Amino acid sequence: MIDNGAITVEGIYKVFKKGRSDEVRAVDGISFDIKKGELFGLLGPNGAGKTTLIKCISTLLIPDSGAVRVAGYDIYREPLEVRRHIGVLTGGERSLYWKLNPVENLRYFAALYGVPRKHVGDRIDYLLELMGLTEKAGARVEKLSSGMKQKLSIARVLVHDPPILLVDEPTLGLDPYFARFIRDFVKNELNRKQGKTILLTTHYMDEADELCGRIAFMNRGRIEAMDTPVRLKRSMPQKQVLEIKCQGAIEKEIFDRVPDAAGINITHSDGFVYVRINTDNPEMILSSMIELIQQKTKIFSVRVTAPTLEDVFVDLTGASLRNGK
Amino acid sequence: MKRGEGSTKRVFHYLRAINAENIKEWKIELTYKPDFIRQFIEPFVYLFPYLLYGYALLGGRYSEHLKDMTGIGDMVAYTFIGYLFIGFLNTACWAMGFSLRKEQWYGTLETIFVAPVPRWVYVAGMALHSTCHQGLIMLIQAVVITTFFAIVLKMGGLFPALALVLLMLLGLYGLGIIVAGLTIALKQWWVVSEALSTLIVVVTPIAYPLAVLPIVLRKASMFLPTTYGIMGVRHFMLGEQLAVSLPTIFLRLAIIMVVWLTFGMATFLIMDRYGRKKGSLSVY
Ligand SMILES: Nc1ncnc2c1ncn2[C@@H]1O[C@H](COP(=O)(O)OP(=O)(O)O)[C@@H](O)[C@H]1O
Ligand SMILES: [Mg+2]
């Protein structure tokens, strides 16, 4: 009865009706298997359907069709058992009671999860210690920083020591210091040390690349590719990427006539514009690219790199992780 | 791996969750001190219009006509007992009805919904909390009002009165969980609470005997637990004459309690399922 795969998803669909004729195919036929102890990532832009999929697996939503088994339990027939075996981290800092302190929050959730009374005190001490929150044990949650709230959310998810974790955008909106902590914690403590099976969603390619043993690219409710990060990156037909860092407004269309440029991805970060071109011959197209951009704006630097996950994502889906819809 | 929890264990688990919900709500409420205090003062303020009407119409506190109709001549005592029950209506229509939307407003709804207890447990926790809360407010009101107006209650009737109130509460919980269910599905969920609480206040004999209601409303009031609760308590505590016999009151109340609870639970489960299909509890 209990299969080895920790999570099995088979042909899941979820369509939201908006008004009479308008509908959103949030999850559009998705299947995958996650093995025990795996750290599996769903990488996709905003609106790809990641959260909807997590909600289906965690019994918050009923899918239109398809089968899901979690720790061997069927989400339709045994939702309570499914919930007992998972910890779900979603909703960020709002998922706690701000008027209560960390201990009161954790006590409440321990009761909901039926953690034996005699273990509750020790468990809470352990979790606060683990997350470095012992000193804040009596402070109202509203007084904690975003990063500490997220740490407390993680403690909350672990209160019943579930074998499976569903982690939805764990570092969204966190400053780099806490984001670093959370990533290390998820990978080293939760996955490697405690051996938990983890399904993580993110739209940060670095996060997926660094943490996940396997990644599924998700876009418009579908999985476009699924493999280890290394193999995904190797799968690109073009082996190199030419990156030009500049400033100002640049339209994708101006590159339409550059030969040998397979995919072009324009992203914005820290006030700069990065134009990335997948190519086999960076030297060949370099001069025409520079010429085109210089007509429009100022170039700060040019470099040639290996493809990142984002380049592969753009190549496969035509959508960008950051700006895509 | 263990499969499931045994049924005894499950009952204790749910009861513990219900109580945890109750305690959590007390703690949260007590952090809003002015609002907490307001809840204890307001009921006194709202009682006055009722009493002033009474005084204006009767030209005093006692009425022979009321005495003929009900056996109680003291309008203040008569009205105030009925008025107390509005507290319980608040439990059903507002506290229970809004329990889930309140969690949504905190941002915690989906977090608690992935815990391994059925969703009615949260509504039940809120029912327990609000009953304690309203009970406390009512107790204070009762002590203050009876002292201030020198109302003499028959204390011997206290226990039967409480038994009746308990039955009535269970019936009201049935109503409350219907409202909670409807709030899942409806965008303008508060309309249900408004409509229902207004309707109940009108057809429940709070400040007047049933006999003065138009026949349709009188019929409707026969299906509401509050009607029997109020009649019974006034009978036991003040000596109101009853149009129907006591056993009949208990029996009818027991029946409508079962009906409302069953109907309420069914509505809630259907609405919960509907909500999980539509995603109507997510903010979109
Ligand atoms: N409860 C809902 N009702 C209506 N539309 C929804 C609901 N939840 C999600 N959607 C829509 O489904 C799509 C996928 O959303 P989501 O799963 O949140 O994506 P992601 O988490 O990848 O950003 C979006 O277009 C979103 O607007
Ligand atoms: Mg999301």
In terms of Cα–Cα distance, which of A44, A29, A46, A10 is closest to A217? Answer: A44
What is the DSSP annotation of B7-76? HHHHHHHHHHHHHHHHHHHHHHHHTSHHHHHHHHHHHHHHHHHHHHHHHHHHTSSB-HHHHHHHS--BHH
Q: pLDDT band for position A76 (50/70/90)?
A: very high
Q: Cα separations (Å) of B111 from A30, A90, A199?
A: 24, 7, 17
Q: Is the pLDDT of residue A325 over 50?
A: no
Question: Could you give the percent of chain B with pLDDT greater than 70?
Answer: 98
Span B252-258, average pLDDT: 95
Report how far ligand 1's centroid is from the alpha carbon of A14 (Å): 10
Q: Residue B283: its pLDDT value, please?
A: 65
The model's pLDDT over A161-204, given as tens digits with 9 standing for 90+, comes to: 999 999 999 999 889 999 999 999 999 999 999 999 999 999 99
> Rounded distance, CA A223 to CA A215, Å?
10
Q: Residue A1: its pLDDT value, please?
A: 46
Average model confidence (pLDDT) for chain A? 91
Question: Could you give the percent of chain B with pLDDT greater than 90?
Answer: 52
> In chain B, positions 107-146, which contact chain A (CB-CB < 8 Å)?
107-108, 110-118
The model's pLDDT over A124-161, given as tens digits with 9 standing for 90+, comes to: 999 999 999 999 999 999 999 999 999 999 999 999 99
- In terms of average pLDDT, the best of A280-284, B202-206, B214-218, B269-273 is B269-273
Q: Is the pLDDT of residue A74 over 50?
A: yes
Report how far ligand 2's centroid is from the alpha carbon of B109 (Å): 16
Is B219 near chain A, with CB under 8 Å?
A: no
The model's pLDDT over B69-124, given as tens digits with 9 standing for 90+, comes to: 888 889 999 998 888 888 888 888 889 988 998 998 899 999 999 999 999 999 99
Check if the beta carbon of residue A71 is closer than 8 Å to that of residue A34: no
Sketch the domain layout of chain A as residue ranges: 5-232, 237-306
The model's pLDDT over B134-182, given as tens digits with 9 standing for 90+, comes to: 999 999 999 999 999 999 888 889 999 999 999 999 999 999 999 999 9
The least confident of A142-151, A253-262, B57-66, B209-218 is: A253-262
Question: Could you give the percent of chain A with pLDDT greater than 70?
Answer: 96
The helix or strand, by DSSP H or E, that contains position B236, with its residue range, turns out to be helix B225-238
> Rounded distance, CA A89 to CA B110, Å?
10
Report how far ligand 2's centroid is from the alpha carbon of A255 (Å): 32
> Rounded distance, CA A115 to CA A129, Å?
18
> Rounded distance, CA A311 to CA A274, Å?
12
Q: Residue A2: its pLDDT value, please?
A: 52
Average model confidence (pLDDT) for chain B? 90
Q: Residue A324: its pLDDT value, please?
A: 39
| HEC secondary structure over chain A | CCCCEEEEEEEEEEEEEECCCEEEEEEEEEEEEEECCCEEEEECCCCCCHHHHHHHHCCCCCCCEEEEEECCEECCCCHHHHHHCEEEECCHHHHCCCCCCHHHHHHHHHHHCCCCHHHHHHHHHHHHHHCCCHHHCCCCHHHCCHHHHHHHHHHHHCCCCCCEEEEECCCCCCCHHHHHHHHHHHHHHHHHHCCCEEEEEECCHHHHHHHCCEEEEEECCEEEEEECHHHHHHCCCCCEEEEEEECCCCCHHHHCCCCCCCCEEEEEECCEEEEEEEECCHHHHHHHHHHHHHHHCCEEEEEEECCCHHHHHHHHHCCCCCCCC
Q: Tokens 């056996």 — which residue?
A: B71
Check if the beta carbon of residue B97 is closer than 8 Å to that of residue B176: yes
ipTM: 0.91
Coil vs helix vs strand at B283: coil
Q: Residue A220: its pLDDT value, please?
A: 94
What is the DSSP annotation of B199-221? HHHHHS-SSS-GGGS-HHHHHHH
Q: Do A97 and B28 touch (CB under 8 A)?
A: yes
**Joined tokens for residue B6:** 């045994």
> In chain A, positions 86-115, which contact chain B (CB-CB < 8 Å)?
86, 88, 90-91, 94-100, 104, 107-109, 111-114
Kindly indicate whether the domain formed by A237-306 is annotated with CATH number 3.30.70.260: yes
> Rounded distance, CA A159 to CA A141, Å?
17
Q: Residue A61: its pLDDT value, please?
A: 96
Ligand 1 pocket test target in A14, A15, A24, A313 with most atoms within 8 Å of CB? A24
Hey, whose CA ends up nearest to atom 8 of ligand 1? A52
**CATH node for A5-232:** 3.40.50.300
Residue B245, class by beta-carbon neighbours within 10 Å (0-12 exposed, 13-18 middle, 19+ buried)?
A: exposed
- Beta pairing partners, A32: A9
